[in-house]
């Protein structure tokens, strides 16, 4: 039987977490899938480990290090199935993840994408679940049309490959290649949220989201700028041209709060709960409202979770952000 899913795992120096991640896929209750690992120039023992696995469902493709976006587009190109299921080399798929997706595809056969809840591996229960935009496909599209970005944990996504490629796939390396795809997908195709945890995210102190949080925040604003450019039918400028004006929009207190929460999460991800306490206290001091909203989220989740700033802030800077004498989007990416 032709496999329904390709589980795509980009790997760059994935040890020591890669074995647990890969085994969580190979032990799925749903049998009809393949695994494509894109070894993106690893210099550790990742390739040696992958070559030791004797499983006909596994294909390992090696390339020189080209970054996450190139690795993801390579996985889309190499897949032999209609669906690409995302996973990173340090995350763990729940045993019934693919079975749940197979059921969802029967219900929404024309969907462009599915995604789900996720939790943080080994975190305390009260803050384990990641904040995720919830809603019907119509509500998700409405959020996007209002000028905000969807908050979706990348590795919970399952992408219809043909539809994803029709959108141009992943576009650039700004640590937000996923956010840029979500708004394009939501405006054109059906995006379906599955209200169940299907992946556990391993957060550690070396995680990209921790070490690059300020850059990540700035780049998120750039992706929102691209969305608003599309919605308002304006020509977006290149990244460097608008960065000075986007920096002014960053809420410094909220940024410090997020950084401290991520640092706390990194400590909890390695079981160092006592070391997380000072970061949690600092997060509370920097933004009490966001801190208590985060504590309430597991008990009162809702569709209000979204990414980005008030689009009115972009309108206020319209003459600066959409000048016609600078580079186009094509030159920026």
pLDDT digits (tens, 9 = 90+) for 170-223: 998 888 999 999 999 999 999 999 999 999 998 765 566 556 778 888 999 999
Domain boundary among 162, 181, 202: 202
290 lies in the same domain as 144: no
163 lies in the same domain as 249: no
- Residue 158 burial (CB count, 10 A): 25
- Mean pLDDT for the stretch of residues 111-125: 84
Q: What is the pLDDT of residues 75-98, one digit of tens each?
A: 999 999 999 999 999 999 999 999
Question: Among 48-57, 126-135, 217-226, whose mean pLDDT is lowest?
Answer: 126-135
Q: Is residue 154 part of a domain?
A: yes
Quick one: pLDDT band at residue 265, thresholds 50, 70, 90?
A: low
- Tally of domains within the chain: 2
170 lies in the same domain as 264: no
Q: Is residue 207 part of a domain?
A: no
Q: Output 125 or 279, whichever has higher pLDDT.
A: 279
256 lies in the same domain as 189: no
**3 state SS of 134:** coil
Domain boundary among 151, 176, 202: 202
Q: Is residue 208 part of a domain?
A: no
The b/e string for 292-324 (b: 16+ C-beta within 10 A; e otherwise) is: eebeebeeebebebbbbbebebbeeeeeebbee
242 lies in the same domain as 306: yes
- Mean pLDDT for the stretch of residues 12-20: 96
228 lies in the same domain as 262: yes
153 lies in the same domain as 218: no
pLDDT of residue 274: 78
The CATH number given to whatever domain includes residue 114 is 3.90.550.10
Q: Is residue 209 part of a domain?
A: no
Q: Is residue 187 part of a domain?
A: yes
130 lies in the same domain as 272: no
* Cis amide bond preceding 45, omega within 30: no
| % of the chain surpassing 70 pLDDT | 86
Domain boundary among 202, 223, 255: 202
- Mean pLDDT for the stretch of residues 103-118: 97
**Which domain, by its residues, includes 223?**
214-332
- Enumerate residues 6+ apart whose C-beta is below 8 A from 228: 147, 234, 311, 314
pLDDT of residue 262: 61
Do residues 151 and 133 make contact, with C-beta atoms less than 8 angstroms apart? yes
220 lies in the same domain as 134: no
Q: What is the pLDDT of residues 223-242, one digit of tens each?
A: 999 999 999 999 999 999 99
159 lies in the same domain as 289: no
72 lies in the same domain as 189: yes
pLDDT of residue 245: 95
Q: Strand (E) positions, 161-275?
A: 191-201
């Amino acid at each position: 039987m032709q496999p329904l899913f390709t589980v795509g795992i980009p790997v760059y120096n994935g040890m020591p977490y890669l074995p647990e991640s890969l085994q969580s896929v190979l032990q799925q209750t749903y049998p009809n899938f393949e695994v494509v690992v894109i070894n993106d120039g690893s210099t550790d023992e990742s390739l040696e480990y992958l070559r030791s696995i004797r499983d006909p469902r596994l294909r390992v493709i090696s390339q020189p290090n080209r970054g996450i976006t190139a690795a993801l587009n390579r996985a889309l190109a190499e897949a032999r199935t209609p669906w690409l299921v995302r996973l990173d080399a340090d995350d763990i798929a729940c045993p019934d993840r693919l079975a749940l997706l197979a059921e969802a595809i029967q219900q929404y056969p024309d969907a462009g994408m599915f995604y789900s809840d996720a939790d943080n591996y080994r975190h305390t229960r009260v803050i384990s679940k990641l904040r995720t935009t919830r809603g019907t496909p119509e509500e998700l599209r409405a959020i996007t049309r209002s000028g905000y970005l969807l908050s979706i944990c990348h590795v919970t996504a399952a992408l219809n490959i043909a539809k994803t490629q029709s959108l141009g796939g992943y576009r650039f390396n700004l640590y937000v290649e996923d956010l840029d795809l979500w708004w394009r997908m939501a405006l054109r195709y059906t995006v379906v949220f599955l209200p169940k945890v299907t992946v556990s995210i391993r957060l550690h102190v070396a995680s990209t989201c921790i070490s690059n949080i300020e850059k990540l925040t700035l780049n998120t604003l750039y992706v929102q700028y691209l969305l608003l450019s599309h919605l308002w039918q304006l020509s977006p400028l290149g990244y460097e041209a608008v960065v000075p004006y986007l920096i002014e929009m960053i809420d410094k207190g909220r940024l410090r709060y997020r950084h401290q929460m991520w640092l706390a999460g990194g400590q909890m991800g390695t079981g160092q709960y006592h070391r997380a306490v000072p970061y949690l206290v600092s997060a509370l001091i920097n933004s009490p409202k966001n801190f208590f909203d985060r504590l309430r989220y597991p008990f009162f989740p809702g569709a209000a979770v979204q990414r980005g700033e008030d689009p009115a802030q972009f309108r206020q800077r319209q003459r600066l952000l959409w000048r016609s004498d600078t580079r186009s989007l094509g030159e920026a990416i």
